[in-house]
Amino acid sequence: MPAAAPEPAAPAEGDLDLAADQAIAACGGDAREAVKALLAANDFLEAQLDGLRKKVSAGYARGRFPGA
């Protein structure tokens, strides 16, 4: 039986702070605009993931994905 995949490591707090600073800077220093941009990017990625999940066969997914 194959070993379970390891859980992804949580990013270090300093990395998150740096990423947040970069996102805010990319939006001209406006934190609200940075949040809106990140939400839009997240929606786009979730839509892509949903599309890929629909393409995975039910046999391969073995019930792991709803709608697969």
Total domains, the chain: 1
Residue 49 lies in a domain: yes
Looking at residue 38, its pLDDT comes to: 97
Looking at residue 3, its pLDDT comes to: 54
20: number of Cβ within 10 Å: 14
In this prediction, the residues of the chain whose per-residue pLDDT falls under 50 are: 1, 68
Residue 38 lies in a domain: yes
- Domain of 49, in residue numbers: 29-55
Looking at residue 14, its pLDDT comes to: 83
Looking at residue 5, its pLDDT comes to: 55
Residue 19 lies in a domain: no
Looking at residue 1, its pLDDT comes to: 43
The pTM of the full predicted model, rounded to 2 decimals, is: 0.64
Residue 36 lies in a domain: yes
